[in-house]
Structure 1
Amino acid sequence: MEPYVREEPSKLWSGLQKCKSLAKVIKSRRAPPWPSTQSTALPPRHVCDQLVGNYLRTSETVYRVLHVPTFNRDYEAMWASNSDPDHVWLLQLKLVLAIGAATHDEQFSMRTEATHWVYEAHTWLSAPGFKSRLNIQPLQVSLLTLLAREATGVGEELNGISAGTVLRTAICMGLHRDPTRLPKMAFFAAEMRRRLWNTILELNLQSSITSGESPLFSLNDFDTDPPGNYEDEQVATTDPVPNSEDDLTTMSVAIALRKTFPLRLAITKFLNDLGSHGTYEKTLHLDAELRAAYKAMRRVTSRAKPQLQELSRFGAQVMDLIVHRYLLALHLPFFGLALREAAYAFTRQVLVDTAHNIWRAVYPSDSVIGSLRGERFRPDESELARLTRNGSGFFRIAATQACLVIALELRSQLQQGESLGPGPLRPDLLSIMEETKSWALECVEAGETNVKGCLLISGVSAHVDGLRRGLGQEDLAQLLMKEAEEGIEKCLAILEVSVTDGSATGDRNEVDKVTLDMQPGRVEDWEFVASDSLFDFGNLDSMNWIFDDTMGREFALL
């Protein structure tokens, strides 16, 4: 059958053009001039306190970068002093504020300020003076910059390049060697080096699984021991006694993740290395090992339930999400076969259950009640849910891929039911399909200029709905185009508000001055909407199993 194509000018195409111009205006207003001017200006004390608290409850519980007592001491001293603080320390503080701003409120109201702080850090890091930066404090700035870029959406799709630079810098500083194999140093210095190296490894591995690139390092490239289970106050003493594994500390999450690191590295290499041969038998073997490691990791938290608040709910949720993200990546290359062949039924079940777990972590089920009441955001939502919606990168990509897996599972069930007779669909999966459309718009309302995600989610959701209603191919194609157009219209309305409201100052006519170099009938420049890593399902030979002939109709004009 010939693809369905409208004869009149595409409403979808016109909306895409407008979204691109608005997105360019919004991004240009957020970004300060380059190089960015270094400033000592900060928000009021009470706002800074809230943002620092957000950071310490979230990011620092998973990715250890700072010695918190020292940071808090310097933070209090800064407010008590009339003199300007140390410049490098001030950069650290601004990056902490930028990361904390991502979970400060529902719509990331401080995104512009956070973007400026990230630019200031990049300006300083890009200046000459390389040897002077080979010490711990600049390395902390580099790590915080990586985390802040993902939290604020500033070039996060290329974080893997910067993470690799930080890795090589740390190697030049000798962090890949355990301090016991280096000249004698204070216990505090030795343990901070182990912590920083541990975070560097985690961020590099995370960027590899996100981008689909090889990690470019192995376990043989370093001998640094994992960090010890010490509270920050213990690290500052001489020869402290480490806490037992059952005692939860501020290091518990990082240590638990480090125990699964060799296996997660093996999975990433299995998926991304050019010489890797991704056999299904190897996939099942890695799956079994990851599940065993996950059970052991969960035993640590289950034995210490009375101390759960010390662990931080955010840290526990992130541990679960990270493991499920690797399970998802491990089985996705076989999803196409699993939808057609019973021999891969295990993979199909794993992917659906894993996608469900990821989605519920970032969009808790009680949010359905709020949606029915017309409430777009919940004041009691988890900080992980807020970070996923307001931020970018690893968590957002995991949520988006989970949405698509569930949509494809429902579509496959409906298509199989055409020949075998109608069968019941899981209501929990159907509710997720409704939630994904609201979530995609919430991301745009929170400051994301992504319309690609809204367009794709609208398309696959409409396809599932059309199949449920038993529409023919032509009616289904009409529905898909209609839903895509409505999705773009909603995104366009949100972006227009972002341009004209008080938080984005400037001439409204600036929108009309943006040059559009696209030709009608196709989209050549998607850079303004989202990173393609959102749709990277691993090293798949083909993605054709996602889009059949009918699904292709809604994008026929592209």
Structure 2
Amino acid sequence: MFEISSLDPYMSNLAFCTAGKESSDIERHSSSVPAPPFPQIYQVGPDLVWISMGSLMRMAMYMGLHQDPNNFGHMTVKDKEIRRRLWYTILEFNVQAALDSGISPMIQESDYNTQPPYNVSDDDVENAVQEDFIPKNSTTILLPSLLAKSLPLRLGVARIINSLQEETSYDHILVIGNELAAICRNLTAAVDTNPSMSDAYPTIQFAQNYCSHLLRRFSLCLHFRYAIKAKKNAPYSHSQKVCLEAALDLAALLEDRLYSRLLVTGGGMFRDIITRGALLIFLELAPDPEIETSNSAKRRSHARQSVLLEDARRVVQYAEDRMRHGETNVKGYEFLRMMLVQAEGRFSGLLTDGDLPKSLNDGLDTCHEIL
């Protein structure tokens, strides 16, 4: 089904990454948490995940999950809802695997007509015993429902990002990016206006962070190729702003003690902070020598960079924590560490020629100690 509480095999995987008291909390309060792509929890490579998703997708279509259950014969409301939730869970796995593997999704919106699940809780579905009973949609947006309704858009975004054909026009990128931004705003509004989504339980915050991660990584990937060109191509400055905000949102996920356990142990999408987010943060910290600024502007920039440096330090610490939890690729950590030393040196005005070699040697010593 569409939620962790309905996917017993995934519960054990999630509990593995959140061992301790939090794992029991998940079992009690997981009804609002969409199921994570469990192969990535164990750092399975994106190529293998994508191949597995192909088999899963074809199996689901062979079972007829891609056709709305209203087109079939006699079926209870509960069974219909189960089929819809299962289908949209598989679609979520598919679109995330496509984004990680760099290959277009194996399905598009025209290939299925299954309607999104009702915006209702599991209890309402369990109580739908009459054949003609239709669960009443909740007045507040539930996180799984929001993800399901955004899937057609995100499938299209993944197809654009991974397309091998002619590059999409930047105007179209801006239009799609605005639609993604609207979905992210809906997520924020759903959290702010729904009393049941308070952070009283760690797993409620986990659900919010997981959904935020699923959505914002699409904005980051969509605008990334333009954001890195923004300093030399002013029309792309909007993409740089969008990517930076997405990168900072992803870095902020490290503040959640429960979700950060998944970030330091998982693969695939859980490495977004290192693979793309960190580059945007350090790119923002790099000065543009061609821009002349007044003293007041320099002071404002200095204050802003002070905050960004804290995020940069957090990302470097995250890269080190990943190695302590099994990551064996030291190049990413060394690269980020040297960029941090360079950014701190420029910020303080005390950067010397020997700082980078020293940082490299110190980083290698740290890697040798860990590995």
Q: Common fold, TM-score beyond 0.5?
A: yes
Given that residues 455 and 487 in structure 1 are in contact (C-alpha distance below 8 angstroms), is that contact kept between their aligned partners in structure 2? Answer: yes
Does the alignment pair 1:271 with 2:161?
yes
Given that residues 437 and 457 in structure 1 are in contact (C-alpha distance below 8 angstroms), is that contact kept between their aligned partners in structure 2? Answer: yes
1:341 and 1:190, CA in 2 relative to 1: closer, same or farther beyond 3 A?
same
Choose the corresponding residue for 2:315, options 427, 436, 452: 436
Match of 2:247 in 1: 355
Within 5 Å, give how 1:52-63 maps onto structure 2.
none
Question: CA–CA distance in 1 between the matches of 2:58 and 2:307?
Answer: 45
Shift of 1:153: 1.6
Question: CA–CA distance in 2 between the matches of 1:462 and 1:264?
Answer: 37
Choose the corresponding residue for 2:180, options 274, 279, 290: 290
Match of 1:329 in 2: 221
1:293 and 1:241, CA in 2 relative to 1: closer, same or farther beyond 3 A?
same
Shift of 1:229: 2.8
Does the alignment pair 1:401 with 2:316?
no
Within 5 Å, give how 1:405-416 maps onto structure 2.
405-411=280-286, 413=287, 415-416=289-290
Does the alignment pair 1:245 with 2:138?
yes
Deviation per CA, 1:27-70: give whole Å up to 9, x if none: xxxxxxxxxxxxxxxxxxxxxxxxxxxxxxxxx9xx526537xx
Within 5 Å, give how 1:98-497 maps onto structure 2.
98-104=13-19, 147-156=37-46, 158-237=48-127, 238-239=129-130, 240-247=133-140, 252-308=142-198, 312-360=204-252, 362-364=253-255, 381-398=256-273, 400-411=275-286, 413=287, 415-416=289-290, 423=298, 424-425=301-302, 426=304, 427-468=306-347, 476=353, 478-495=354-371
Structure 2 unaligned regions, length at least 5: 24-33
Secondary structure at the counterpart of residue 301 of structure 1: helix
Deviation per CA, 1:138-168: give whole Å up to 9, x if none: xxxxx98x83321122345531121122111
Output the amino acid matched with 2:231: L
Within 5 Å, give how 1:71-86 maps onto structure 2.
none
Secondary structure at the counterpart of residue 384 of structure 1: helix
Deviation per CA, 1:250-301: give whole Å up to 9, x if none: xx21111111112212221221122242221111111222222333343333
Secondary structure at the counterpart of residue 51 of structure 2: helix
Deviation per CA, 1:459-479: give whole Å up to 9, x if none: 32233234446578xx54x53
Shift of 1:421: 7.9
Secondary structure at the counterpart of residue 363 of structure 1: helix
Output the amino acid matched with 1:492: H
Question: CA–CA distance in 1 between the matches of 2:52 and 2:350?
Answer: 49
Alignment length (residue pairs): 349
* Structure with greater Cα Rg: 1
Question: CA–CA distance in 2 between the matches of 1:279 and 1:491?
Answer: 43
Given that residues 45 and 268 in structure 2 are in contact (C-alpha distance below 8 angstroms), is that contact kept between their aligned partners in structure 1? Answer: no
Output the amino acid matched with 2:138: E
- Tell me which protein shows more helix as a share of its residues: 2
Structure 1 unaligned regions, length at least 5: 1-59, 72-91, 109-142, 365-380, 496-558
Secondary structure at the counterpart of residue 312 of structure 1: helix
Output the amino acid matched with 1:437: V
Question: CA–CA distance in 1 between the matches of 2:126 and 2:314?
Answer: 47
Secondary structure at the counterpart of residue 450 of structure 1: coil
1:181 and 1:398, CA in 2 relative to 1: closer, same or farther beyond 3 A?
farther
Question: CA–CA distance in 2 between the matches of 1:255 and 1:175?
Answer: 17
Secondary structure at the counterpart of residue 338 of structure 1: coil
- TM-score, normalization by structure 2: 0.83
Question: CA–CA distance in 1 between the matches of 2:191 and 2:100?
Answer: 27
Shift of 1:177: 0.9
Shift of 1:233: 3.4
Shift of 1:202: 0.6
Given that residues 227 and 239 in structure 2 are in contact (C-alpha distance below 8 angstroms), is that contact kept between their aligned partners in structure 1? Answer: yes
Within 5 Å, give how 1:487-526 maps onto structure 2.
487-495=363-371
Match of 1:96 in 2: 11
Deviation per CA, 1:112-159: give whole Å up to 9, x if none: xxxxxxxxxxxxxxxxxxxxxxxxxxxxxxx98x83321122345531
Given that residues 414 and 468 in structure 1 are in contact (C-alpha distance below 8 angstroms), is that contact kept between their aligned partners in structure 2? Answer: no
Given that residues 197 and 204 in structure 2 are in contact (C-alpha distance below 8 angstroms), is that contact kept between their aligned partners in structure 1? Answer: no
Question: CA–CA distance in 2 between the matches of 1:266 and 1:316?
Answer: 23
Q: Matched residues, percent identical?
A: 27
Output the amino acid matched with 1:294: C
Output the amino acid matched with 1:101: F
1:388 and 1:341, CA in 2 relative to 1: closer, same or farther beyond 3 A?
same
Given that residues 151 and 387 in structure 1 are in contact (C-alpha distance below 8 angstroms), is that contact kept between their aligned partners in structure 2? Answer: yes
Output the amino acid matched with 1:97: S
1:314 and 1:483, CA in 2 relative to 1: closer, same or farther beyond 3 A?
same
Given that residues 120 and 138 in structure 2 are in contact (C-alpha distance below 8 angstroms), is that contact kept between their aligned partners in structure 1? Answer: no
Output the amino acid matched with 2:100: T
Given that residues 267 and 326 in structure 1 are in contact (C-alpha distance below 8 angstroms), is that contact kept between their aligned partners in structure 2? Answer: yes
Shift of 1:192: 1.5
Secondary structure at the counterpart of residue 159 of structure 1: helix
Match of 2:30 in 1: none
- TM-score, normalization by structure 1: 0.57
Within 5 Å, give how 1:33-72 maps onto structure 2.
64=3, 67=6
